[in-house]
Amino acid sequence: MNFRLLPEWAEQDAVMLTWPHQATDWRDNLTAVEPVYVQLCQHICNVQQLVIVAHDDTLKTHITQLLLTNDVDLSRVHFVVTPCNDTWARDHGPLTCASLDNPAELTINDFTFNGWGNKFESTLDNQINAVLVKQLAHSNNQYQAIDLVLEGGGIEINEHGTLLTTRECLLNQNRNPSLSTDDIEHVLRTQLGANDFLWVDHGYLAGDDTDSHIDTLVRFAPNNTLVYVKCDDNNDEHYSALDAMEKQLKSFTTHTGKPYTLIDLPWPKAVFNADNDRLPATYANYLIINNAVLVPTYNDSNDALALERIQSAYPSHKIIGVNCLPIIAQFGSLHCITMQLPRGFLAGGPK
């Protein structure tokens, strides 16, 4: 295969959001969470286009009014009206590859989403990408549905084709139980153009339903850099696992055999909901857009330090904090609710 999954910092046409609604688990929290979505829309539309998946026309009308009220440039907003179970666009959204010979040629990969191992109903979410591609994608782009359970939050890739993931997620028996490590790597080489693999064996977040998605723990940055969460509280339940993860990251080598540059992110204080469930607050769950990085914050004393560390990983980008306390109430964060669509994805966009 001569196509490769694009790193998140590649130039983008748009970001995709799937909007929360009354038929989702967000129903009791919509008044708190919708302002966060609006804020994301504002930041995204300042630099690129936006795709919003709306459950029905009534919701589309409601969202349109919200965006108008908050001065979002609607000329940059594209709607896809189709039923959806939930809002985790990172995991039901498309994974887009570009030709290594001609970056203008894209392949849009539609992997199977099964609600993180059949934990939640996902039939409607699993149908979104086909509708998205039919309505908005450039006709030159290839589209393929792939019979492999894979979520976007479960993998990271860099500019050299090295793919980063966790064994706990990709090799979990609730995803692709008949496939071995070699089988999974073969599919990811074939469909995503990966040529090297970094398998993380340690690390998790309490309250995370994804079986340790890599985007909650470790992220790639340009120039062979890994950005990761570090727990400095040895009384915290996460300390041992994240300490073991850090040791493993220090042992990883790049495609040229050199150690990665490591940038550790601070540990926010524990956040709990009304039922005393710990929520998965992590600074690693940031979104890269054109010339900016949107970073989840939690009204925490370490917010400023997290922004500073992420700035060092992406020195040419503007770093913008977004209060994601309402988002983690549903056990995810900022990166989890978004999916970037690279340059050339949209019809009418530049090729």
pLDDT digits over 270-324, tens only?
999 999 999 999 999 999 999 999 999 999 999 999 999 999 999 999 999 999 9
Say if 350 falls within a structural domain: no
Say if 298 falls within a structural domain: yes
CB neighbours of residue 25 within 10 Å: 14
Domain span at residue 60 reads: 3-342
Segment 70-95 shows an average pLDDT of: 98
| CATH for 223 | 3.75.10.10
Segment 125-131 shows an average pLDDT of: 98
pLDDT for residue 242 is more than 50: yes
pLDDT for residue 20 is more than 50: yes
pLDDT for residue 129: 98
pLDDT for residue 348: 75
Contact 252, 198 (CB under 8 A): yes
Q: Measured in whole angstroms, how far is the alpha carbon of residue 145 from the centre of its chain?
A: 19
Does the pTM exceed 0.95? yes
Say if 53 falls within a structural domain: yes
Report residue 279 as tokens. Answer: 């929520």
Segment 171-200 shows an average pLDDT of: 97
Say if 349 falls within a structural domain: no
Query: Count of domains in the chain?
Result: 1
Segment 62-89 shows an average pLDDT of: 98
First to last CA, the chain: 21
Say if 204 falls within a structural domain: yes
The percentage of residues in the chain with a pLDDT greater than 90, rounded to a whole number, is 98
SS3 of residue 203 by DSSP: coil
Say if 348 falls within a structural domain: no
Say if 347 falls within a structural domain: no
pLDDT for residue 351 is more than 50: no
Alpha-carbon radius of gyration of the chain = 19
Report residue 17 as tokens. Answer: 């959001």
Say if 242 falls within a structural domain: yes
